[in-house]
Structure 1
Amino acid sequence: MTRIPQKMLFPTTIFTLFMVVVLVGWSNYRLFENRFIAQLTLDESELLSQANSLFSRELGHIKSTTLFLRNSVYALSSSRNRVLKPAWWQSDITQIFSQFAMTSPFISQVRWLNPEGKELIRVNSHDGHTTVVPDSQLQDKSDRYYFHQANLATGNNVYISPVDLNMENDQIVRPLEPTLRGVVSLNRNHPGVLVVNYNLTKLFEQLRALSNDHFFLDVVSENGEWLISQDAQKEWAGALKKEKQANYVKSLFPKVWASISSEEGLSSRISEGQVWSSMRVIVEAPISSMATEQSSFLYFVARSRSHVLDEYREYLQWLIFSLGCAAFLILSFLVWWQMNASYKRRALLSALETEQAQLKVANNEFNVVNHQLVELQSELVENSKLSALGLMVAGLAHEMNTPLGGVRMALSSLTALINKEADSLSDRNRQSMEKTLEIAEKNLTRAINLVVSFKRVTLDRSGQDVQVFSVNSVLQDLLTVYKPRLKHFPHVSIEEECEADIQMRGFPGLLSQVIQNLIDNALQHGLKDRSKGVITLTTKRQNNMLVLGVKDNGCGISPEVKDRIFEPFITTGRVDKHTGLGLHLVHQWVYTLMNGRIEVVSKEGEGTTFTIIIPLLQPQSTQVEDRAKGI
């Protein structure tokens, strides 16, 4: 692992720390900015709710008071029990209109228009005083839009006109009077319509009063014209024809207007360094399902003053920058102090690691020497055991040959005697004796062959001298000695498919040990959990090479273990106290002493095949000893 040089580590750490402080500072700046904007949005929403409540309350009064005026006219007609006639109705109706005008400070005019749109009666109201307009000053209102809309209303429907400026004789009244009209149709007994003008100047002043130092309220018409604005010069731009397009909201703030006009409910946005909140307020829906006119509505727009958001951002930037600098300086000092202490500790640990490495090298050398001594001791013990066993078996065979020879002589003499006295014996007795002698002869021969095989196997493994031998004889001797052990594996059978008369110059003892280790491996690992197992031994000659195969139909070897089976101490039977040295020794013997190679083919669940290929003619014993020293 490459270490960063000490001279580069501190600047790198400081730069990383700086980036972390910047990232945390920016995250906190965005967090607090969003919280402030959210609070502004909440305050603006409350402002819009107050404005909507105030406007809606007055709008409801307009409908109710307009219907009250119509009902008063109807009541007057009922009390007189006749249709009102021009000869006497004007004084009574004028009195009702005057009394009605005094009921609300917002009422500026009360008028009765005949079916042709001409004013029959008009009463003006101003500051609590009413004035009846003379007949000579009555006007024709047949071209006004509210007159045509009123003719579509029937029953208790009241038409509420859009908010506009009051006009007299086609001239805008000065000072400006924002006006809303309530219009209701009379029945056929009282032809015409009643029109009540509501002066919204005081209502607009109340709406303006809702603004404060942080945000102010705008009222915008449905076509983007300011009715109430922070800048009074922009109000009623369309009605007063003062640079209409330049002073509309949709001209000055096109993106904001596009957002406002597309939303029907309460919505908020940030634009031009201000927080904008808007609400659409319906003034009047179409009074008839057959009407072609759309709903009349206004937009209440609350927006923060331009300095509020900028000032808070500047304050927040200064605060975050100050705290970030302080945090960066403190953390930089802590990093420097920690790294300085770390360098000192590292120097001490480096010296300690050097000493530990030296001790580890010495300990490894000691372990290698000790391991070599243990292996040498084990080898000497094994050689001593084999030599002692070979001498013991040789002596035992020599001692057993004398009595076995005596038994053979006795059997031969007995056979000759039986043949000599054959005429004196009955056929039954003679056949019984011959059968008995035959059984004794077979068992004697079996005992002699067993002693000879055991002696040969033991003596061959006790040395490493190159000998000429028959491969089949070695295989048969091993299986003969191996039969008692197979009794512990009754579900396993060993089959032979061997080519006859294969002569070899080599190491019969090592070849026998290799075959035994492979059979043991199959019994202990491959066929351990099988209900029926078969081990197949094959030998054949191929181009001056011996091809020896040991195959089983066991559980096979997993891919992750297969590549390491010849390494020392690799075993899957650790719980059964297997050491994992059997196949390692086979590999060493085959490659180092016999100058051969091993091939392994295995598939999980189907079995394993070991194929050993070694020369039929091994080199002389001096060359073998040289190779053996390298093991």
Structure 2
Amino acid sequence: MFLEFSASTGVYDQIRWLDEYGMERVRVDLREGQATLRDSAQLQNKADRYYFAETMALPAGEIFLSRFDLNLEFGVVEQPFKPTLRAATPVFDRQGKRRGVLLLNYLGQGLLSRLKQVSDAYGDTLSLVDSEGYWMLAADPEDAWGFMRDRAEVSMVKRHPRSWRQMQAQSSGAFDDSDGFWAFTHFNPREQDARSKQLGDNWLLVSHLPYEQVQMLRVGVLWQVLLFACVMLSLGMVVVLRLALAELERDQALEDLQSSGLELAQSNGELREAVEQLQRTRGALLQADKLSSLGTMVAGVAHELNTPIGAVSVAASTLRQGGQELQKSFTEGLQRSTLERFLRRNDEGLTIILGNVTRMAQLTRAFKQLASDRASTERRTFDLVELVREVMLVFALKLKQSPHRVILDLPASLMLDSYPGPLGQILQNLIDNALIHAFAPGMQGVVRVRLDHDSVTRRCLIEVQDNGCGMSGEVLAKIFDPFFTTRRGQGGTGLGLHITHQLAVDILGAELQVLSSPGQGSRFRLHLLVA
């Protein structure tokens, strides 16, 4: 297993298991890109190495990251140098007994080589320093790894003590002193956010221009200026006049530059205002899209309520007319057949009224639940099949006025522990998007809503598929971008599918996919976990 892992990664110089006494039991070395198993006679005892002692003291599951130093073989620094960063963790047997450590030696030469390339490109001024002030990468290779080569005096702390103290006082910056010009920044290789730790735990990336070079540059510039001044003085009045003209042109250029700067600042301000206005417009369009969705919901439910209300009204009117006829029969002489007919009609009318009132109560409850879910993003357990049927109430009026159909392919029940409001909004947006965009004029389209779930993986699939015109690859690549629409100027805001994608990913933690090709329709697939 160690051999396969070493060959596949190609970055670990050594992969080892050290037993509880520090003895190497299994060791795989990476030599010239080949993973090699060390013979037992070549294995060493590392009980005296600091990383073994530190790792053995850790609890299960913890990881020790060593200092960036040089690799030792049989107590001697390996030649050529191998800068190494070690990651180790304690291992235990099934009875919980500590059985040593698992150790990975990351070969850091690649990191230093890339940093050296950057340094060469900038005049060989970059160096990498550890938290104790020792160079890991230096302009002079002899200055590197002083603490590993019995050269404790070769460090930034010893050579540049004042500069070192000033760099320790802040996380990054630039300054000059008697040692030259310095630019530096701290970072912590063990943490994603180095600012969360003290500066003493960090590495230091330093760019240094020695004082002598700074002085040489200054002297060179000074000599050039003096030489130029002498030449200009020797040219006499003609040169003076030319200089005066050049000065005048320079002043004019400076004024032009200042004017351009003011214009640029004004342009930046206008651009900032335009961006803020765009953000306000985007928010307003998002709110308008939500209100439009709620308006569609109200229209659909009102249409559904209109039928039972009409039936109740007709039945009540019939009962009232029957009551008037019965009252008239009392004055003229009530017959048995008249009374029986009244009682039969009364029973039928009450049955109609009761059934339709029950239907209105169901619709009202569904609308109330749907509106409540849309107004909040609370998590609860609900029946997804019932939610789909409630969402279809929204489209009742639109479907009666449209040549298109919506077919539901649903199980008897499917319980979810999720957010019904955002999920209902997603379903409504996908169905509405298909009805608006999928079909060309004159088509009689079909939109199929299908639910499926896998009890083993506990994943649910919600699929909205149409047999419409489909989408090209260019449109498909931008389908979830904000303000992208194929119906610009025809009422499309380009926010419907953008909102849908945000609700699916940010709130539900789901995956929304779209499959489409020209002439083959489109299929939106929403994957999420089942309760």
Same fold (TM over 0.5): no
More helix by share: 1
Tell me which interval the TM-score lies in, with the shorter structure as reference length.
0.3 to 0.5
Rg larger in 1 or in 2?
Answer: 1
TM-score, normalisation: structure 1? 0.35
Tell me: higher relative CO, structure 1 or 2? Use CA pairs within 8 A at least 6 residues apart: 1
- TM-score normalised over the length of structure 2: 0.41
